[in-house]
Amino acid sequence: MRTAIAHTLGCDVPIFAFSHCRDVVVEVTKAGGFGVLGASTFAPELLEQELRWIDEHVAGRPYGVDVLIPSSYDREAEQVGDPERLIPGAHLAFMEAILADAGVPPLPDDDRRRVHREIVEGRGNMTPDGARRLLKVALRHSQVKLVVSALGAPPPDVVAELRQAGVMIGALCGKAAHAVRQRAAGVQLIIAQGTEAGGHTGDISTLVLVPQVVEVCPDLPVLAAGGITRGSQIAAALAMGAQGVWCGTIWLGTRESELTPFEKNVLFATRAEDTVRSRVRTGKPVRMVRSRMSEAWEKPDAPGYLPTPLQGILYNEIHARIVRSERRDLYSFPVGQSVTSVNEETSVREVMMRLQTEYLDAMERMANLGAGA
């Protein structure tokens, strides 16, 4: 399984883990995979703390950082110091009415301040300038060997800075045409992410997308993403020409994941058909758990979705309230269709071992397909 990309990046197996949780990044990296910290929700000061902690815990191994660099976003929100004030009253009132009707109380002042600092300021970083602030922090950490961007091709100054620092540049794509644009922009690693994935997704499935991307970018390493929770799917990804896999949902149910016990229990009970692509979290389509909240925004009386990053800023405090009051009926968190196979708490190390064992089983099965014929 040690493909060229694993060799280039210095990991043992090409299992890439996307997570907003530093513990997952560390455990995957220590287990021989390649952890990538989703930085887009962190304020720069907090990212600095997280990366310092990861540096101290990965025993010199390389890891990555992921930022969102949207090609379309609200330019005013990027300029002002406090983008929260740009959220229209009608949107706040609509959210408030849903929670008040459901009897969900406001956050205590302490929690509100924490959410504002850690998340609202972080959500403000879902713009190109916000990503630049985060990348400045990432580049201070020499073990960061890969920076990945999503939602658009990275701008030329970002590409130039990363290349000069000797950091590999990756990008997520949902269409072959995106991969072509990213390659032209200087991206060196393409993550072909199918619609079944958790988080921002397009509408083409992994099985269709990966061979198309491999075909249009024959000179670049490609990772398959979306729906991967089994070793047999890693074998399938490599058979389609990918050099590895990139997984997100699978880590959410691990002991190391940042989710609360309430949130994990929701995920353990969520099936593929309970997910939906909705713009309620960030203003762009995100695959997530379907809930009364996502459904309310689909109704004709809902205000239109705000552009990124404002919808995300609007959603954050609401989400914190829903989690605090443990309201499963209103809970929408990004998960992929593969949530179906996330049914109980395991550890990252167990997941890593299982994926590799299953991969070997799948390869053996394929080698023996003709036996006895």
By the rule CB under 6 A, 35 interacts with ligand FMN: no
- Helices 128-138 and 44-57: crossing angle in degrees, nearest 10, is 30
* Residue count, binding to ligand FMN (CB under 6 A): 25
Q: What is the dihedral of CA 110, 111, 113, 114, to 10 degrees?
A: 120
Identity of the residue, 18 or 305, whose beta carbon is nearer to ligand FMN in the bound complex = 18
- The CA-atom distances, in angstroms, between 157 and each of 131, 161, 185, 283 are 12, 6, 10, 26
Q: Which two tokens stand for residue 141?
A: 């950490």
By the rule CB under 6 A, 332 interacts with ligand FMN: no
- What residues between 96 and 155 interact with ligand FMN by CB under 6 A? 150
By the rule CB under 6 A, 68 interacts with ligand FMN: yes
* Cα–Cα distance measured from residue 151 to residue 284, given in angstroms and rounded to the nearest whole number: 9
For residue 275, the minimal CB distance to ligand FMN (Å) is 10
Q: Cα–chain-centroid distance for residue 32?
A: 20
By the rule CB under 6 A, 197 interacts with ligand FMN: yes
Tell which one of 38, 128, 170, 312 touches ligand FMN (CB under 6 A).
38
Q: Which two tokens stand for residue 85?
A: 């004030």
By the rule CB under 6 A, 43 interacts with ligand FMN: no
- Helices 22-30 and 348-367: crossing angle in degrees, nearest 10, is 50
Q: Which two tokens stand for residue 238?
A: 């490599």
Contact 9, 34 (CB under 8 A): yes
For residue 248, the minimal CB distance to ligand FMN (Å) is 2
For residue 166, the minimal CB distance to ligand FMN (Å) is 22
For residue 337, the minimal CB distance to ligand FMN (Å) is 7
By the rule CB under 6 A, 199 interacts with ligand FMN: yes
Identity of the residue, 46 or 108, whose beta carbon is nearer to ligand FMN in the bound complex = 46
Quick one: which segment of 25-33, 69-77, 241-249, 261-269 binds ligand FMN (CB under 6 A)? 241-249
By the rule CB under 6 A, 335 interacts with ligand FMN: yes
DSSP 131-174: HHHHHHHHTT-TTEEEEEEESSPPPHHHHHHHHHTT-EEEEEES
By the rule CB under 6 A, 336 interacts with ligand FMN: yes
By the rule CB under 6 A, 312 interacts with ligand FMN: no
Q: Which two tokens stand for residue 201?
A: 């997704």
By the rule CB under 6 A, 237 interacts with ligand FMN: no
Binding-site ranges for ligand FMN (CB under 6 A): 18, 38, 40, 66, 68, 150, 172, 193, 196-199, 225-228, 246-250, 334-336, 338
